[in-house]
Amino acid sequence: MLGLRSRGLKFKRGENDPGQLGIGSEAWYMERKQIINQLVVAGKMVIDGDMLKLTRDGFLVCDEIVERLL
């Protein structure tokens, strides 16, 4: 999650490996998809390819975003 503050989080939406449950895995993304979409609509995050990144507004509330994603 520390990477979210700098370069962003890499995630793999298309990965079908049910054994991989870490941050950025398909399972992780699917469990948080609604939260992520809300943050994108609110202008706090952007999806850039396979990276989830904070916007300038999101950086200001990064701790709260991380709490929601954990």
Give the Cα separation of 20 and 55 in Å (integer).
Answer: 28
pTM above 0.85, yes or no: no
pLDDT tens-place string over residues 2-54? 678 888 887 765 555 544 445 667 777 888 899 999 999 999 999 988 788 99
Q: How many CB atoms lie within 10 A of CB 52?
A: 22
Alpha carbon separation from 65 to 2, 14, 16, 38 (Å, rounded)? 12, 23, 26, 11
For residue 5, the model assigns a pLDDT of: 81
For residue 41, the model assigns a pLDDT of: 97
Give the Cα separation of 25 and 18 in Å (integer).
Answer: 9
For residue 21, the model assigns a pLDDT of: 44
